[in-house]
Structure 1
Amino acid sequence: MKDRIRLVHVVWRLSVGGGIPQVSRQVLAGLDPERFDCHAIIARPAWEEDRLDELGAHVTVHALDHEGPTRPQDEIRLGLRIASRVRELRPDVLHAHSGTARLSLPAALGSPGMPRVLEVHEPLKDGLHSRLTNAIEVGMVKAAGFRPFAHSTHVRDATAAIVGWRPERIPLVPLGVPVHVPDPAAGLALRAELGIPREARVVVGVGRATQKNIPLMVRVGADVVRKLGDTGPPVMFLVIGRQEPEIQALIEELGVGDRVRVVPPLARLSDAFDAADLFLSTSHYEGFGLAVAEAMMAGVPVVGTAVGGVTDVVADGVTGRLLRAGDRGGLVMACRELLTDDALRARMGAASRERALSRFTRRHMLDGFARIYERAALRRRRG
């Protein structure tokens, strides 16, 4: 298109942490500034810790400076302020996110001809969000013209069933991770820092949220350590991320504190993948599975639960093993198999990297988002 597309994201906060803010930052900063004029309306203040200047000069952030808890009257006030700002900006595309999409509804109602898209992170049903939130968002799709798109076939198909559409009507845009060249030296340096022998087999898991099921990760690690015993190289399980005190207490209760360790967040998560021989995902649910894709990009095979978007990312039997959610015994068996079979682990690791490079790069993701916006803007210009 010859004219730049003015895009307005409505998002709660553009923090450097958290899945939705991180992806939004990557999209806003990564879109071609010759094709897109990017704006973000955030409910929270523009805090220094969020490093919004890193987004680039072509991204304008409009902070509404809401602090503290949010009451229903606060949401109404925020929605009206967002609508006012949207009227001033006159965007070609308004971008809302599931979970907080209701904040965009007054803006959409006040500008009937404005194209609007809804990024669906989780199926619009009872789960992470309230019934009221989900009901509003279903109505926004069915009656208020918000066109949904999803990052995994699971979310797409579930959303299609909820709103009564064919799945093909909902575009699929897989998320992407940076192209990472495996760096054995960085992995060895992290091992040395943590006191892990070079010859040890290292299993890495990442996360803190309840859906990650970190207690199961710890129990699987303890079972694998016990079953392998002293045969072969030592095995270490690293749980990366801040954890509740109960997790360390569980490790001590199981008596595996020397083999299962909680590691605080790293400046470079890629170092953990470079140090890893295997990635373990024990989640109850994943909308996509970014950490899984990052591990695969580093050439690390995956043992994980077949939930949500993970089934799109991992090719079972090719790039790792997938088990049903909560299958502790199956996860233990799969970890043992890959930790004791060097040839299989190397083959699946190479296949993991190849799959990540061909499907889940940041460039693939940005191209997918750009197509969503261009199609939406084209509908308006044709209209």
Structure 2
Amino acid sequence: MDRKTVAVARPGAAAAAGRRLHVLECVGNAIVGGMERWVERLVGQLPRDRFRVSLLCPYEGRFSATLRALGADVFCVPMPEDPCWSAVQVVQALVRSSGVDLLHAHLPNAHALAGLVSRLTDVPLLSTIHGRQLTLLDLEVHRAVHSHLSVVCRHSYYHALGLGVDMRRLSCEPNGVDTHGFHPGPRPAQGLRARLGLAQEAPLVGFVGRLSPEKGPEQFLRAVSLLQEGLPEATRFVMVGEGPMQAALEAELARLGLGQRVLLTGHWDDMPGLYRELDLLVSTSHSEAMPLALMEGMASGLPVVATRVGGIPEIVQHGLSGWLVAARDIEDIAGRVRQMLAQPELRQRMGAAARQDMVERLDLGPSLDRVATLMQALARPAHEPHRLEDVSVLGRAF
């Protein structure tokens, strides 16, 4: 068996010893973002009789506290894109001493650190690519250490193939949404509308996501600016999230004279309740894979207007559950929002279709089952060798 095969098929001793599979989740950031929420749900729902989970992240905060509350052991080490030897040494000692069977990386910096540790310890490595494209660092690490890449949408899958990634070391496990936690329901009596002093029947349009360049929050503000004329006075817009563009967006808000129309809420705790307070969800991203905020809103019964980028066309059925528009086309974005605000029956019909689609196609349970199956296949013990092609098609359900 050559070195490439060993990297994927090397045994974890878990199954042979009759114990739980020990997975070390190596997470390259610890903000309140889509990738972190995905990891939280994975850790929270992996069967505890089959999996033991530890977490590696770059610093303490809300994310690490949440994972501890879910039962994970949490360790913090620096994670620059160019890993320092002290971090490599500490993590490889952790892996050896605690009997880790599988390394699971998220984000390129974590992939780089986990890749070095994988080579030193001969523990197999899975890297989930949450963005719509592989970065150069992800590709370099994959080629150097033969990690298995799991992508979350078809766009990313075929992009990886186009870069020369061996399909035997590549699979697609699409994101899922918690349709039990996110569902239609009555609007909270004391929520966002109460904070705004907004009547329950007044139109409320939302942007939900990290305030960072790839999400295009400035495009949302510019579309709102185009919409000012002719909208009912009671119509309001909210931007929910944190990020590096917050100060610039506040300045843009003042420049456009939108202070009475738009509220920047910052972090919001009750996300299921917030989606129920909205009438329409707008996504203006320049780059996405399968954004959880969009899927959560749709599972909550919201129609959407979203840019046609990355994996979003795999989520939104144009004309049925929402509208797809070109990135940066603020005129089309504004026009679709105006149309939806003017037609409550259309909003209701599309929102119901969005909810049904998330339940039938993109529920979280089957999505996490596919990831769990992939983990177990990659960490299969030596006396149960598997063919690489068996692993490569596990999540390719399209």
Asked if the contact 1:286–1:308 (Cα under 8 Å) also holds between the matched residues in 2, the reply is yes
Match of 2:212 among 209, 212, 216: 209
TM-score, with structure 2 as normaliser: 0.83
Match of 2:85 among 63, 66, 76: 76
1:234-280 residue CA offsets vs partner (Å, 9 max, x unmatched): 42111112462332232232223222222232221222211111101
**Cα distance change of structure 1 residues 45 and 214 upon mapping to structure 2, 3 Å threshold:** closer
| Matching of residue 104 in structure 1 with residue 107 in structure 2 | no
Q: CA deviation at 1:110?
A: 1.7
Question: Residues of 1 paired with 2:63 and 2:131: CA distance?
Answer: 29
Question: Residues of 1 paired with 2:89 and 2:132: CA distance?
Answer: 26
| Matching of residue 60 in structure 1 with residue 76 in structure 2 | no
Tell me which amino acid in the other structure corresponds to 1:60. D
**SS across alignment from 2:84:** helix
Number of aligned residues: 364
Question: Residues of 1 paired with 2:61 and 2:306: CA distance?
Answer: 37
Asked if the contact 1:98–1:120 (Cα under 8 Å) also holds between the matched residues in 2, the reply is yes
Asked if the contact 1:187–1:271 (Cα under 8 Å) also holds between the matched residues in 2, the reply is no
**Cα distance change of structure 1 residues 88 and 178 upon mapping to structure 2, 3 Å threshold:** farther
**Cα distance change of structure 1 residues 48 and 263 upon mapping to structure 2, 3 Å threshold:** closer
**Cα distance change of structure 1 residues 184 and 168 upon mapping to structure 2, 3 Å threshold:** farther
Asked if the contact 1:96–1:118 (Cα under 8 Å) also holds between the matched residues in 2, the reply is yes
Q: CA deviation at 1:192?
A: 2.6
Structure 1 stretch displaced more, 332-341 or 298-307: 332-341
TM-score, with structure 1 as normaliser: 0.86
Q: CA deviation at 1:62?
A: 3.2
**Cα distance change of structure 1 residues 148 and 369 upon mapping to structure 2, 3 Å threshold:** same
Question: Residues of 2 paired with 1:47 and 1:273: CA distance?
Answer: 22
Identity %: 23
Query: What is the correspondence of 1:137-286 to structure 2 with a 5 Å cutoff?
Result: 137-166=138-167, 169-177=170-178, 179=180, 180-186=182-188, 189-207=191-209, 208-226=211-229, 228-230=230-232, 234-242=234-242, 244-286=246-288
Q: CA deviation at 1:115?
A: 2.5
Cα RMSD, aligned residues only: 2.7
**Cα distance change of structure 1 residues 53 and 116 upon mapping to structure 2, 3 Å threshold:** closer
Structure 1 stretch displaced more, 317-326 or 190-199: 190-199
Higher relative contact order (CA 8 A, sep 6+): 2
Asked if the contact 2:281–2:302 (Cα under 8 Å) also holds between the matched residues in 1, the reply is yes
Residue 41 (structure 1) aligns with? 56
Question: Residues of 2 paired with 1:348 and 1:45: CA distance?
Answer: 41
Asked if the contact 1:12–1:44 (Cα under 8 Å) also holds between the matched residues in 2, the reply is no
| Matching of residue 19 in structure 1 with residue 34 in structure 2 | yes
Question: Residues of 2 paired with 1:268 and 1:276: CA distance?
Answer: 13
**Cα distance change of structure 1 residues 248 and 11 upon mapping to structure 2, 3 Å threshold:** closer
**Cα distance change of structure 1 residues 53 and 138 upon mapping to structure 2, 3 Å threshold:** closer
Question: Residues of 1 paired with 2:63 and 2:129: CA distance?
Answer: 28
Question: Residues of 1 paired with 2:171 and 2:62: CA distance?
Answer: 35
Tell me which amino acid in the other structure corresponds to 1:291. A
Asked if the contact 1:175–1:360 (Cα under 8 Å) also holds between the matched residues in 2, the reply is yes
**Cα distance change of structure 1 residues 28 and 188 upon mapping to structure 2, 3 Å threshold:** closer
**Cα distance change of structure 1 residues 61 and 254 upon mapping to structure 2, 3 Å threshold:** closer
Q: CA deviation at 1:381?
A: 4.5
**SS across alignment from 2:380:** helix
Tell me which amino acid in the other structure corresponds to 1:287. A
Q: CA deviation at 1:48?
A: 9.6
Tell me which amino acid in the other structure corresponds to 2:200. R
Gaps of 5+ in 1: 127-133
